[in-house]
A = this chain, B = another copy of it.
Amino acid sequence: MDVTKVQLDEKDIPRQWYNLAADLPHAPLPPLGPDGQPVKPEMLAPVFPMNIIEQEMSTQRWIDIPDEVLKMLYLWRPSPLYRARRLEEYLGTPARIYFKHEGVSPAGSHKPNTAIPQAWYNKQFGIKRLTTETGAGQWGSALAFACALIGLECKVYMVRISFEQKPFRRLMMETWGAKCTPSPSTETAAGRQILKEQPDTPGSLGIAISEAIEAAVSDATGSTRYSLGSVLNHVLLHQTIIGLEAKKQLAKIGEKKVDVVIGCVGGGSNFAGISFPFIADKINGAKIDIIPVEPESCPTLTRGPFSYDHGDVAKMTPLMAMHSLGHRFVPPPIHAGGLRYHGMAPLVSHAVEEGLCTPRAVHQLRCYESAVLFARTEGFIPAPETSHAIACAIDEAKKAKEEGKEKVILFNWSGHGLMDLVGYDKYFQGKLSDYSLPDADLAAGLDAIKHHPKAKIR
Nearest-CB residue, chain B, relative to A368: B175
Bound CA span A76–B416, Å: 14
Bound CA span A419–B171, Å: 11
> B175 contacts A424, CB within 8 Å?
yes
Q: How far is the CB of A182 from chain B (nearest CB, A)?
A: 15
Q: How far is the CB of A352 from chain B (nearest CB, A)?
A: 33
> A379 contacts B175, CB within 8 Å?
no
Asked if A175 meets B378 with Cβ closer than 8 Å, knowing A10-B3, A74-B4, the reply is no
A176 at the interface (CB under 8 A from B): yes
A104 cross-chain contacts in B, Cβ below 8 A: 104
Considering only residues 377-396 of chain A, those with a C-beta below 8 Å from chain B are 377-381
A149 at the interface (CB under 8 A from B): yes
Nearest-CB residue, chain B, relative to A7: B7
A314 at the interface (CB under 8 A from B): no
Asked if A381 meets B75 with Cβ closer than 8 Å, knowing A7-B9, A108-B418, A375-B148, the reply is no
A148 cross-chain contacts in B, Cβ below 8 A: 375-377, 379
Bound CA span A53–B380, Å: 30
Per DSSP, chain A at the interface is helix
A425 at the interface (CB under 8 A from B): yes
Asked if A75 meets B428 with Cβ closer than 8 Å, knowing A176-B376, A376-B177, A421-B168, the reply is no
Considering only residues 54-78 of chain A, those with a C-beta below 8 Å from chain B are 71, 74-76
**Contact mask for chain A residues 5-33; partner B; CB cutoff 8 A; 1 contact, 0 none:** 10101100000000000000000000000
Q: How far is the CB of A415 from chain B (nearest CB, A)?
A: 12
Q: How far is the CB of A395 from chain B (nearest CB, A)?
A: 22
> A375 contacts B418, CB within 8 Å?
no
A357 cross-chain contacts in B, Cβ below 8 A: none
> B75 contacts A378, CB within 8 Å?
yes
A425 cross-chain contacts in B, Cβ below 8 A: 167, 171, 174
Bound CA span A74–B5, Å: 7
Nearest-CB residue, chain B, relative to A372: B175
**Contact mask for chain A residues 71-94; partner B; CB cutoff 8 A; 1 contact, 0 none:** 100111000001000100000000
A174 cross-chain contacts in B, Cβ below 8 A: 424-425, 428
Q: How far is the CB of A114 from chain B (nearest CB, A)?
A: 15
Bound CA span A172–B379, Å: 11
> B4 contacts A75, CB within 8 Å?
yes
Q: How far is the CB of A430 from chain B (nearest CB, A)?
A: 13
A4, A71, A108, A174 pick with most chain B CB within 10 angstroms = A4
> A3 contacts B74, CB within 8 Å?
yes
A149 cross-chain contacts in B, Cβ below 8 A: 86, 376-377, 379
Q: How far is the CB of A384 from chain B (nearest CB, A)?
A: 12
11 further interface pairs, Cβ-Cβ under 8 Å (given A145-B379, A149-B379, A418-B419): A75-B82, A106-B381, A108-B418, A148-B375, A148-B376, A148-B379, A171-B421, A171-B425, A175-B424, A175-B428, A418-B418
What residues of chain A have their CB less than 8 Å away from a CB belonging to chain B? 3-5, 7, 9-10, 71, 74-76, 82, 86, 104, 106, 108, 145, 148-149, 167-168, 171-172, 174-177, 372, 375-381, 418-419, 421-422, 424-425, 428
